[in-house]
Amino acid sequence: MSNFDAALERFQQVDLEYAGGLANHGPMGAEALEGLGHQAKIPAFVDIYAPRLPPLSTGSALAPADRMAARGDIGRVGDWIATFDAELPRLGPEAGAWGSLLRAELPALMPGLFAAAGHGLLRVAHAVRALERVDDDGRRREVALGLAHWSARYQALPGKVEKMEVLHPGASPAKEIEDIVQDWPILGEANARLGLFTKVVERLNGWAPFEEALGKVALPAAEDVDDFLSGVCRAAAQIYVDHPASRIAYVHGLTIPSSIRSLLPFLEGEDRSRAVGYALEVVVALHSIFGDAESEPEPDDEVIRVAEDWDEMRYHSACSIAEHSIKMVEACWREDRLAPNPIFRRAAADAALKIGGRGDVSAC
C-alpha cells in the first residue's frame, strides 16, 4: 500500500467537514503531495491534519425522486454519502468505469460548484487525477465522497452563467480574459471579507456591477475551452500575486478552475462551455470580495530566486505540510506544464514560501 492509499484509508473514516463548516482538505493535500513527487511527506501530513476530524457521518441512500430536494442540505450529508457509496458497486470493475458516474452527475452539479467553497469539486478532481494513475476501490470512493460533499453543500454564485453567450468554434473573444479580470468591479468593503468564503460571496447577491460584468463575457465553444481555461488560470495566478493580504482566498481562485480541467472529459457540448464559465465566475466572485485597488505584490528576492526552480518550489511546499501551499504549488506546476507562463512560477514560489501558518484557514 502506498503512502497515498494509506492516507485515503484514514481520511475516509472521518467526516467531510469539521469545526462548523471547514472542509476536510486531507485527501486533497495527500493527492497533491503525490502529484508533486513528495509521497514521503504524506504520513507527516496525515498525522498533523487527521486528528482534528470527527467520525464520518452516516445515513441512508436517497431515492432518485428525493435527491433534488436534498441537494444543498448539509443535514443530509450522511444520506448523500450513502447514496454515492451505493453507486460504486454498480459501476463494474473495468478500468475507468467510474467515469460513467461523473458523466451522469456533473452536468447538474456544475452550477453549484461553489459548494463548500469549491471543495466538493476539488475533492472529485483530486480523485480523478489519482484514478488516472491507479484505478482501485479506495480512489473510486474518493469520487463518491467528493460528489456527496458537492451535493450536500451545493451553492450557486450570483451570476447568470447559463445566459452567457457561447461563441462559434474558432471565434476569438473581444477581450483577453486576463484583461477582463484585471478590470473587474470590486466591492471594496473590508468587512465583506470576514467569515467563511461560502458566506462572504453572498454579499454579491443583488450587486448589479457583478452580474452586468459577467453578462458581457462570451464563453468559448466546447472545442475551444482549453485556451480559455488557461487564460482564467493565468488571471487567477496574477491576482493571487497582486493581493498578498488575501492569499488563501486567491489560492481557491486558481485551484478551482485548474481542477475543472480534470472534469472536462466527462462533459459534452455546451456543458463544457458553461463549466469554464463557472470557473471564471469563481475567480471574479472572490476578486470582487477580496480585491483591493491599492494592493501590490510583496517585494521578496527569495521568492524571485526560488521561482526559477520547480524542484525547489515543490520541495519547500511539501516541507511546509500546509494544505493550501501544497495544493497551490501543485496546481501552478500542472498549469505551467500545459501552457508555460512566468506567472505560475511566481505564484507557486510565493505559495511555497509564504503559506505555512494557520491564520486564514478558518475561511474555508
Mean pLDDT of 59-67: 97
| Whether the predicted pLDDT of 358 surpasses 50 | no
Q: What percent of the chain has pLDDT over 70?
A: 98
326-344: average pLDDT? 98
- pLDDT surpassing 90 at residue 363: no
Per-residue pLDDT tens digits for 2-37: 999 999 999 999 999 999 999 999 999 999 999 999
Question: Rounded to two decimals, what is the model's pTM?
Answer: 0.96
Q: What mean pLDDT comes out for the span 160-178?
A: 91
Q: Write a three-state SS string for 145-191.
A: HHHHHHHHCCECCCCCHHHCCECCCCCCCCCCHHHHHHCCCCCCCHH
Average pLDDT for 287-313: 96
In a 3-state reduction of DSSP, which class is residue 364? coil
Query: What type of residue sits at position 30?
Result: A
Q: 44-55: per-residue pLDDT in tens?
A: 999 999 999 999
Q: 143, 135 in Cβ contact below 8 A? A: no
Can you give the residue ranges of every domain in the chain? 3-152, 160-364
Query: Around Cβ 323, how many Cβ atoms within 10 Å?
Result: 24
Question: How confident is the model over 353-360, as a mean pLDDT?
Answer: 70
Q: How confident is the model at residue 359 (pLDDT cuts 50, 70, 90)?
A: very low
- Arithmetic mean of pLDDT over the chain: 95
Mean pLDDT of 265-278: 97
